[in-house]
Amino acid sequence: MAREFFGTDGIRGRANADKLTAATAMKVGQAAGKHFLRGTHKHRVVIGKDTRLSGYMMENALTAGFTSVGMDVILTGPLPTPAVALLTREMRADIGVMISASHNAFPDNGIKLFGPDGFKLSDEDEEAIEAEMQREQELAQGDAIGRARRIDDARGRYIHAVKQSLPDEYRLDGLKIVVDCAHGAAYSVAPTAIWELGAEVIAMGVAPNGLNINDGVGSTKLDAIKARVIEEGADVGIALDGDADRLIVIDEKGQAVDGDQIMALIGGRYAKLGLLKGGGLVATVMSNLGLERYLAGLGLDLVRAKVGDRYVLEKMKAGGYNVGGEQSGHMILLDHATTGDGTIAALQVLAALVRTGKPASELLHLFDPVPQLLKNVSYEDGNPLEAASVKDSIAAAESELNGSGRLVIRKSGTEPLIRVMAEGDDEAQVERLVDQICQAVEDAA
């Protein structure tokens, strides 16, 4: 069936406009609650959020929806997405909800759903919930109506779990670390966890006011943390996004390290320690060809999935892999979490810094990326990729590359954009091919 609400990462859009209104959130609560009402036990849902102003509205609307169909609601307040996934499983909840638009600006918001196992829902589950949203729900009556309560120990539970992801012998004493929380969901927990492990922490992006999430800070706005790492003479910088499920590292020279280099470090380290499962790791079609070549040199495979961390996760589970992620910074370490967790991934990087004694600039530069260029083309209606002129342009580019590079052209799952990416050993050729395809898409759009 056509998906009206769910994209590649739950439901996302402008809060209180378009489709993401309080009425929609209540319908999601009712439909998701109905979908997960199984058995005779008292059902419960865990709801967390990031720091957006609209989170209050969405939280209340979802609570109304879930309680109206008989589910008890546990409210955590601001908490990272992976913490909600963790608590869903640990508290034996039937469903988990994270209210967040991740790295988007504050006017946007979103709804991410987790099953009782702490994993994001499958396409089939999301389609079933969409179908339920079109139906009139049977409402609970009398004492069957759900209750809602807030819990005070959610942050402490998550901090403990994060610290437990490192062996007891690892301490971060002597490291000076800048931690940028994007004024988002991790503003309290990430600096605390890293400080309690012994590091000197310089925290930034930790003063949320409902309007400033991802505003000039965080994993997609790196100028501030780059400057701060240099200014403080820090060993490394850790940049999280609004819901703290992705990570970008800044080395001691102020240079950004993306998810491909982080995956190379963690995958290679796990392989050396005998901890890597599946004989490789899972990334997306956007990961650099340089990563694939580096892993091949270690005798490891790179399996590619569609863009979206839940598609990475699906391939990880199907193939028995325990390390996967995205170039954008989502890191999924299944030995420690059921979804991307920027703080847990950061601790793996910090542990490697301690163990090797190498500076971050050396430790996290494991391969030279192949020249890669990504450009976005906006469109309003239809599907420009179906135009014959666009197909011809793509076919011509593929013929010219002739196996010496890659093309990835796709529609964004969250925005009205066509993403055009090419990579190859000839940088000038890559730029020319991307521009040619973008022009064809613009003309068709």
Measure the CA–CA gap between 351 and 361, rounded to whole angstroms. 15
Q: Where in the chain is the domain with CATH 3.30.310.50?
A: 372-444
Residue 1 has a pLDDT of 52
Residue 380 has a pLDDT of 85
Long-range contacts (CB closer than 8 Å, 24 or more residues apart) made by 389-395: 389/440, 389/443, 389/444, 390/437, 390/440, 390/441, 390/444, 392/440, 393/436, 393/437, 393/439, 393/440, 394/437, 394/440
* Topology of the domain covering 257-341: Alpha-D-Glucose-1,6-Bisphosphate; Chain A, domain 3 (3.40.120)
Residue 30 has a pLDDT of 97
* Topology of the domain covering 372-444: TATA-Binding Protein (3.30.310)
**Assigned CATH for 157-256:** 3.40.120.10
Q: Where in the chain is the domain with CATH 3.40.120.10?
A: 6-152, 157-256, 257-341
Measure the CA–CA gap between 80 and 190, rounded to whole angstroms. 9
Residue 124 has a pLDDT of 92
The reported pTM is: 0.91
Which residues lie closer than 8 Å to 188 by C-beta, 6 or more apart?
A: 78, 155, 206
Q: And the tokens for 163?
A: 């610290």
- Amino acid identity for residue 70 in this structure: G
**Assigned CATH for 6-152:** 3.40.120.10
Residue 383 has a pLDDT of 87
Which residues lie closer than 8 Å to 241 by C-beta, 6 or more apart?
A: 102, 103, 182, 184, 214, 218, 219, 220, 329, 342
Measure the CA–CA gap between 393 and 377, rounded to whole angstroms. 15
Positions annotated as catalytic residues are 102
HEC profile for 306-374?
Answer: CCCHHHHHHHHHHHCCCEEECCCCEEEECCCCCCCCHHHHHHHHHHHHHHHCCCHHHHCCCCCCCCEEE
Q: How far is CA 275 from CA 134, 268, 319, 391, in A?
A: 46, 10, 15, 43
Residues in the chain, pLDDT under 70: 1-2, 413-414
